Amino acid sequence: MNVERNPFILGECERCGASLKKSKQKGKYICEYCRAVYFDSNYSENDWEEDIDEVSIDVDDYQPPTSATTYNENKKKIVLPGAIILSAIGVFLCVIMVIAGSITNRRTDRKPNTSSSNEKQSIEKPQMLVTLPKAVKAGKAVAYKNWEIVVSPEFTVANNRLAFAFSLQSWHDSNQILSYEPKTIIVYDNVGKVYPINLGRCEPDLPYLTRQLTFSPYEKMSFSSNSSWCNTITYIPTYSGVIMQDVNNLYLHFEDFGVFKNITFVFDL
């Protein structure tokens, strides 16, 4: 039998990597898997020819060598998509929590808190005067009997008409009614000149009629001069006249304006 004689070098097949099995013939080795024949160089050819009795190997019964590297595509694990899904779920939950918190805060902000409002007003409530002063510089607040009045130090003159502005704050915890007659707000200067009410678009008898305003608890209202003062409850008349050069002070006098009786606010010119 003509057999390809491969020199025996290592203990495993150079073709497939399987282990070699020793044959009954001296110096002869056969691969258990591909049946390649190898001869040990330590033996002569005469020794190789003795006792020729080849080993019968059933290839079907042979299991591939465990040292051979195999790759199973079905066992491949894909980790990245799972991590992406978990990250996406985490981001989604965070967004939901942020939106829910925002909605809760908005509802809280919109909910009126009467007790907190009253407490704040109580803290900011000014010290009330025991007696009402006769004269005060314009711009200085006067708090008296749970009312606070502030006359603006700025006034305007246009077309020989003087216009003033002031604010009135109620520090009561219940509704209050303020009554006054427009004619009881008087303007004059330090040389004794009186500036009469300018009727504007209003009837001549209106300065003598009582006006009433209802204040809610802690409510503040702003008053200002206007030629149509009779059409809006928070408007007061303008005053006619020209301020002479020798005038040093102008006076806005409240004769009977709610609790503010006979108090004068002084303007320095």
How do residues 102-114 score in pLDDT, each as one tens digit?
666 555 454 444 4
Give the pLDDT confidence score for residue 260 in this predicted structure.
98
Note the pLDDT tens digit of each residue in 130-139.
999 999 999 9
CATH code at position 147: 2.60.40
Q: Domain for residue 126, yes or no?
A: no
Same domain, 261 and 139: yes
Q: What is the pTM of this model?
A: 0.56
Q: Are 166 and 152 in contact (CB under 8 A)?
A: yes
Task: Report which of residues 228 and 52 the model is more confident about.
Answer: 228
Question: Does residue 244 belong to any structural domain of this protein?
Answer: yes
On whether residue 259 sits in a domain, the answer given is yes
- Whether 248 and 142 map to the same domain: the answer is yes
Identity at 194, one-letter amino acid code: V
| Domain C-terminal end among 68, 102, 127 | 68
* Predicted local confidence at residue 102, as pLDDT: 67
pLDDT of 197 > 50? The answer is: yes
What is the DSSP annotation of 52-85?
--PPP--GGGPPPPTTS----GGG----HHHHHH
Cα–Cα nearest to 23, from 42, 41, 6, 37: 37
Q: What is the mean pLDDT of residues 108-136?
A: 69
Of 167, 133, 130, the residue nearest 145 (C-alpha): 130
Lowest mean pLDDT among 68-77, 199-208, 231-240: 68-77
Claim to verify: residue 19 and residue 143 sit in the same structural domain: no
Q: Does 254 map to a domain? A: yes
Closest CA to 27 of 15, 44, 13: 44
Higher per-residue pLDDT: 56 or 257: 257
Cβ neighbours, 10 Å, residue 110: 7
Please report whether residue 85 resides in a domain.
no
Ramachandran angles phi, psi of 237, nearest 5°: -70, 165
CA pair distance 26, 64, nearest whole angstrom: 26
Of 68, 99, 114, the position where a domain reaches its end is 68
On whether residue 109 sits in a domain, the answer given is: no
Domain count, the chain: 2
Q: Does 235 score more than 90 pLDDT?
A: yes
Q: Are residues 42 and 152 in the same domain?
A: no
The two three-digit tokens of residue 5, written as one number: 């004689």
For residues 266 and 151, what is the distance between their CA atoms, to the nearest angstrom? 10
Residue 217 has pLDDT above 80, yes or no: yes
pLDDT at 76 over 50: no
Quick one: 242 and 162 in the same domain?
yes
Instruction: State the Cα–Cα distance between residues 206 and 63, nearest whole angstrom.
Output: 120
Give the Cβ contact number of residue 119 at 10 Å.
Answer: 11
To 5 degrees, how large is the angle CA 255–CA 260–CA 264? 55
Tell me the mean pLDDT in the region 17-45. 74
Domain range enclosing 191: 135-268
Does residue 173 carry a pLDDT above 60?
Answer: yes
Domain assignment present for 128 = no
- Which three-class secondary structure state does DSSP give residue 119? helix
Per-residue confidence (pLDDT) for residue 196, from 0 to 100: 98
Q: Taking a C-beta distance cutoff of 8 angstroms, is the pair 155, 148 a contact? A: no
Which pLDDT score, from 0 to 100, does residue 81 have?
A: 62
Same domain, 263 and 149: yes
Would the pLDDT of 201 be above 60? yes
